[in-house]
Structure 1
């Protein structure tokens, strides 16, 4: 094999430590800004800090009574709602008691009517007439002098052997199925 000589390219070049150019320019710019506007920036920072402190103190002072006032207001509203609910429940209970009393009275009247019907049936009387008279008040019974008309039997509109699909039966129109077979087209 042939002997190959490898030489370093950087042999004749002097090595200089590298500096980050971006950070040095940034620090220069910051130092120039502080030297020109330093006092203004300091005063602005102090004023901003004082403003924030003042606003925080004001907010805490104004919210404390508001929170207490809101809590009292909420408690009052809840008490008012509970009182309203109690009143409504009492009204509902009273109405339910009245309704139960009416139901008991109606059941008692029905029971009496059934007893009257049973007694009239035992005596051999018609119970239908007695129930009608018992339902009317005495004033209505004395004032009702109208005679009830007997019901007339109406004839049925169609005869018993009427079939609508047959095409018979006295109707002016009738249905008939269509003709079977191939259509006459074409």
Structure 2
């Protein structure tokens, strides 16, 4: 049964091509041609579908975790105890803060009172004709004042800091650094 020929008796045209046994070779060729033409598209689509499935699985598991069964009465008691403990801790912290604020306000009042008292003392000393800084330094007698002013005069040193031929504008007589002014006139560019 090598070749079976079928002819149509109703048709005047007779097809003389022999039918052959079709196996998987034609399917493989068709799939190969399809993959060679659209292969990269298939890889990208497959990767996107995989990532979408992973995302949806994570989302579904997180939603099922959120919708946990209702709490038992023991759990509710624990929650109430925790909330009461937190409220007690907040009250303690607020009381400590209020106490610190009261101490701070008292110190501020004392400082303001001290400043007011000093201003009054300065005013009274100025009314008496004394310097307002008279409280800081004890008053000296006139003899001690005259000797102390001559003794405390600083000695002035007339020695120049650099040599006599030092001129910072010319750069002569200086150390390792020297600056020279730029050339005047138009640039010689072309």
Q: TM-score, normalised by structure 1?
A: 0.42
The structure carrying a bigger helix percent of its residues is: 1
Please, what TM-score do these two structures have when normalized by structure 2?
Answer: 0.41
